[in-house]
Amino acid sequence: MRELILGGARSGKSRLAERLAAESGLAVTYIATSQPLDGEMNTRIQHHRARRPVHWELVEEPLALARVLREQAAADKCLLIDCLTLWLTNLLMLDDPARLSAERDALLDCLNDLPGRILLVSNETGLGVVPLGELTRRYVDEAGWLHQALAERCERVVFTVAGLPMVLKGEAL
């Protein structure tokens, strides 16, 4: 089963994904896409690490997400990917449109063939004003297109606000 969990910053999306992973009864692999590029991001990463059970496996991959998913997915595993918009940012910062396109296409192409449970966490950025600046607008556009394509491929899509999950597609929680 593939699930997309969307929400704004501090909406509770990661906490929901972690709860669903823990309740799955499967071995959990947490796939982290963030990079500790500054002190604030390092603090956020430490906060997430402290919340996770110590027996969960951790894979850190900022770019080649589809490759890692293919390597890690198994019928008896739950993969929790947090977060897709950080992954997208990492690719955008490479300033290599071909790499971004290739990695996005690889992710979308592999999703339907992955065994086990897949929890995809991402920030919903399309609810605000149109941002100033070409890179920021491109980020919002790319995230929106990615979310639409993922929502088509996922059996369940959840939007989280104030810690409350709203199921947009699929079975209720």
What are the C-alpha distances in Å from 14 to residues 7, 8, 22, 57, 125?
A: 9, 11, 12, 16, 16
Q: Is the pLDDT of residue 127 over 90?
A: no
Q: What is the DSSP string of 68-95?
A: HHHHH--TTEEEEEE-HHHHHHHHHHTT
d(Cα 117, Cα 114) in Å, to the nearest integer? 8
Domain spans, the chain: 2-169
Q: Please state which CATH class domain 2-169 belongs to.
A: alpha beta
- By annotation, the residues acting in catalysis are 48
Calculate the CA 95 to chain-centre distance: 21
**pLDDT of 147:** 97
d(Cα 151, Cα 156) in Å, to the nearest integer? 8
d(Cα 167, Cα 3) in Å, to the nearest integer? 10
Would you state the structure tokens that stand for residue 3, as one six-digit string?
Answer: 């699930």
- Residues of the chain with pLDDT > 70, as a percent, come to 100
Strand 117-123 with 77-82, pairing: parallel
Q: What is the pLDDT of residues 18-67, one digit of tens each?
A: 999 999 999 999 999 987 777 787 787 788 788 889 999 999 999 999 99
- Calculate mean pLDDT across residues 4-26: 96
Q: What is the pTM of this model?
A: 0.93
**pLDDT of 107:** 98
Q: What is the pLDDT of residues 73-103, one digit of tens each?
A: 999 999 999 999 999 999 999 989 999 999 9
What are the C-alpha distances in Å from 68 to residues 30, 48, 60, 103?
A: 11, 20, 9, 11
